[in-house]
Amino acid sequence: MKKIVFFIFFFNVYIIGKENNIKDIIKKADSYYSQKKYEEAIEFYKEALPLAIDIEDIIALKIKIGECYFENKDYSASSECYKTVLWQFYTFEQKEYVVYKLCSSIFQSCPKSSEIDLTNVEILLRYIKYYKNNFSNGEYLSEILDFEKTAEDLLFVNDFSNIKFYYDNKLYFSAIFCCDWFLKKYENKKDTLAEVFLYKIKSQYELSKRSVKLIKKDISFEYDFFKKLRQNIILILECMKNEKIYLYNKEMFDDLFEKCYLLLRNSLCLRKKKN
């Protein structure tokens, strides 16, 4: 019985000593944080971490470490820190704040131009979706929506530049594929649709011209050629029916229609001669 009492007494003294020790360490860390000496603050917060017993204290320390990294503009480290908290602890009081800070960190590390790797932008959109699904009326929703708009604009510019890249490099099949994908993904972006349709029509026209050369060598290409050219003419006519799209570049649409029509007529003449 005496052994048990002694053990409980010793354990309580140990716990009290440990709590006092962690409080002193955190006090030092907070002092460095308030002085904007974030690297020193991180060292002390990390020193306190193994001494923390309560889960909420552990979470609070990890969040503090993440904030230090963020304030020190080490957004990659702060992102990893917030991700660890988010996925290591399923439910906790500051979850909304952690997801918000994670989005902020990723947003800060995102490229400001669509010319470079956009992997972080796509990751950001995934966590924005997570925030919106779990905190639809959250405290940080307006900022989250600002992040989302910027990220989507970057992806939009990048997706459109891919179409131009493939067309300029005469990779017409890839250009058409990107156009179709773009038109499906951004059907609400009315101002850009006309330009995308033009790229698709021009790409199909260039492929049709190639097919004419192939028909001269091998008649088996004829059916596929007439099918594609017919589809292209129909697509141009559909665009002409939409006044907003047609008037975007009336001369270009008219020119392409005429070119496709002449190509079709000349190809039919070639077909009659062969027959």
Q: Looking at the structure, do residues 138 and 205 belong to the same domain, yes or no?
A: no
Mean pLDDT computed over 36-45 = 95
Does 63 fall in a domain?
no
The pLDDT value recorded for residue 17 is 43
What's the pLDDT score for residue 75? 95
The answer to whether residues 105 and 150 belong to one domain is yes
Residue 247 lies in a domain: yes
In a domain? residue 62: no
Average pLDDT, the chain: 82
Total domains, the chain = 3
Helices (H), the chain: 2-34, 38-48, 55-71, 75-88, 95-109, 119-134, 141-168, 172-185, 190-217, 222-241, 243-246, 250-274
Q: Which of 90, 31, 29, 37 is nearest to 59 (CA)?
A: 90
Q: Quick one: 17 and 77 in the same domain?
A: no
Q: Check whether residue 36 and residue 117 sit in a common domain.
A: no
In this predicted structure, the answer to whether residue 82 has a pLDDT above a threshold of 80 is yes
Report the alpha-carbon distance of residue 190 to residue 187 in Å, rounded: 7
Match 């790797």 to its residue by tokens: 117
Confidence of residue 215 (pLDDT cuts 50, 70, 90): low
Same domain, 120 and 197: no
Residue 61 lies in a domain: no
Q: What is the mean pLDDT of residues 67-94?
A: 93
Query: Could you tell me the pLDDT band of residue 64, with boundaries at 50, 70 and 90?
Result: very high
Establish if 14 belongs to a structural domain: yes
152 and 102 within one domain? yes
What pLDDT was estimated at residue 210?
Answer: 72
Residue 8: the pLDDT is 44
Q: Which pLDDT value is given to residue 99?
A: 97
The dihedral built from the CA positions of residue 92, 97, 100 and 105, taken in this order, carries a sign that is negative
Q: What is the pLDDT of residue 6?
A: 38
Radius of gyration of the chain (CA): 31
| Lowest-pLDDT choice from 104-108, 179-183, 264-268 | 264-268
Parent domain of 27: 1-53
Residue at 218 is within a domain: yes
Last residue of a domain, one of 159, 179, 204: 159
Residues 187 and 155 in one domain: no
Residues 244 and 183 in one domain: yes
Q: Are residues 145 and 93 in the same domain?
A: yes
User: What sign does the CA torsion over 238, 241, 245, 247 have?
Assistant: positive
Q: End-to-end CA distance of the chain: give it in Å, rounded.
A: 112
Q: Which of 105, 63, 111 is nearest to 84 (CA)?
A: 63
Domain boundary (159, 188, 223) is at 159
Instruction: Tell me what pLDDT residue 101 has.
Output: 97
| pLDDT bracket for residue 201 (50, 70, 90) | confident
Q: Is the pLDDT of residue 196 over 80?
A: yes
